[in-house]
Amino acid sequence: CKRDYDGYQTIRSIRRGEMPVCEKCSGPLKPDIVFFGEKMPRQVLEQMKMNMPDMRKCDLLIVAGTSLAVQPFASFIDAVPRATPRVFINRDVDGSGRKGEYDDSGGQHMWGRCG
């Protein structure tokens, strides 16, 4: 039902071993993110299409926190000019299976936990 909840209250419920549920609709609480297999909101996809021409002007691409395995975000590495330097920041090696298909001579890869 998209109702906002206090994160601290939700964490306390989880730590007590309780499933946090919405007081309004009794459904399970869900973070405001898109899970794997869910459709992206239409407004996000429309905004991405509008911004794609700007990607061709990019002189540095920073990619953080993605496996590069799921579309449409996986295509971002191909939306910038071929020689554009890319910085990948991720806990694990990317899952794209496409590493090396672009000119990565100036790319930097950082894997590991932050913080």
Task: Give the global pTM.
Answer: 0.53
- CA nearest neighbour of 84 among 111, 54, 113: 54
The answer on pLDDT for 114 being more than 60 is: yes
Look at residue 106 in the predicted model and tell me its pLDDT: 53
Share the mean pLDDT of the chain: 77
Sorting pLDDT into bands at 50, 70 and 90, what band is 4?
Answer: confident
Look at residue 67 in the predicted model and tell me its pLDDT: 73
Average pLDDT over residues 48-63: 82
Look at residue 48 in the predicted model and tell me its pLDDT: 76
